[in-house]
Structure 1
Amino acid sequence: MKFNYLKKLMVIALLACAYLPLSGDDQALQIAERFITTFYSWDRSALQEQMTENDDHQAVIYYQGWAEGGNYAVKIRRPCLLENDAISCSITVTDNFGQAMGYIATDTFRLLISNGQISEVTFTADDPPIFEELQQWIMTERPEVLTGPCLDMFAGGNTPQACAKTVSELAEEFMTTRESER
């Protein structure tokens, strides 16, 4: 009988903890997790609603279109982490570029959250040197891409999906050319 009483008391205590208000850090982590979910769902409007208007905003929207056009698929989604004054979210993805050139990359988003909204976002990727080689090859061998679908790439351009699709196709051509030169 005493055991049942303790068991009930533990259940009541656990339920009470579930209804405690979230701390500011917990709320910020939830906002960051929602951002990642929205980013990889390709819902541009929902993503825009989560961010304040600033220069980062346009770069993030472009990158979302680029990721969609490159067929990014989440392979490993790690929980977002609070690091000093920002939140860091690292997501390992597969994409058309990596498939063509034989690598898997991790995107890391760093978010600042103010008043329940994302006020700043920066992002980095750990693409290997071969991706830089591809970019150099495009500049010398296919410069028309940079004045066509990739005009103002990551700098206010309007066709991120078309740019990513074109670069994906060129990655295959680049690898074929690279192999034939060996």
Structure 2
Amino acid sequence: MSSRYKWLMTALITIANLPISANDNALQIAERFITSFYSWDQNALNALLTEDGDHESIIYYQGWAEGGNYSIKTRRPCVMNKDAVSCSITVTDDFGLALGYIATDTFNLKISNGQVTEVTFTADDPPIFDKLVNWIMNERDHILTGPCLDMFAGGLTPKICAKTVAKSAEEFMRVEVLKQQ
């Protein structure tokens, strides 16, 4: 065994035994969070969340994303910010397919003692998605009192809600095309 090989092995073993910094640990937890979220594993996602936190909107969003057939197009590594970890994921979904866009979800995670204590999320959906929501409110309001009741605020049917909104997006686009003719 050459001395160079021995040196390399010693260096690798030394590095492997170094303690993980809090930031590295937070990044690993955030990456597991993203994996759990987009694999539709609610049990794994719940295991990463604090028991005393208000996490109903993220659990709802996971069901919504599954119902909307979110598929990861680009998964960027999570990055450490001042007091949170930020993870940006570009996805394709049924809404974007119907309305003609691709969106990026950005999750901001606060992590303490190895668990996610707070999650906020945003998406860069274009204005046409807002037009769809307004159209649903005005033309298909039964969706908001039916499958989308309490959407992102304790609603019980996120998958069905997402599928209904996606189907409405297709109908909305047909109406928009007819208006332009």
Local SS of the residue matching 2:69: coil
- Paired with 1:7 and 1:42, the residues of 2 have a C-alpha distance of 44
> TM (normalized to structure 1)?
0.95
Give how far 1:19 is off.
2.1
In the alignment, structure 1 residue 180 sits paired with structure 2 residue 178: yes
Q: Could you report, residue by residue, the CA deviation over 1:96-140 in whole angstroms, capped at 9, with x for unpaired residues? A: 000001100000000000111100000000000000000000001
Aligned pair partner of 1:107 in 105, 108, 116: 105
- Paired with 2:119 and 2:45, the residues of 1 have a C-alpha distance of 12
Residue identity opposite 1:54 in structure 2: G
Local SS of the residue matching 1:71: coil
Give how far 1:16 is off.
1.6
Local SS of the residue matching 1:79: coil
Q: In the TM superposition, what are the counterparts of 1:23-172 in structure 2 within 5 Å?
A: 23-52=21-50, 53-55=52-54, 57-172=55-170
- Paired with 1:158 and 1:45, the residues of 2 have a C-alpha distance of 17
Question: Quick one: percent identity of the two aligned structures?
Answer: 64
Local SS of the residue matching 2:153: coil
- Paired with 1:10 and 1:150, the residues of 2 have a C-alpha distance of 58
Kindly tell me the number of residue pairs found equivalent between the two proteins.
Answer: 179
The two structures, once aligned, show a CA RMSD in angstroms of 1.1
- Paired with 2:105 and 2:11, the residues of 1 have a C-alpha distance of 39
Local SS of the residue matching 1:181: helix
Local SS of the residue matching 1:166: helix
Could you tell me which runs of 5 or more consecutive residues in structure 2 were left unpaired when the two chains were aligned: none
> TM (normalized to structure 2)?
0.96
- Paired with 1:50 and 1:10, the residues of 2 have a C-alpha distance of 36
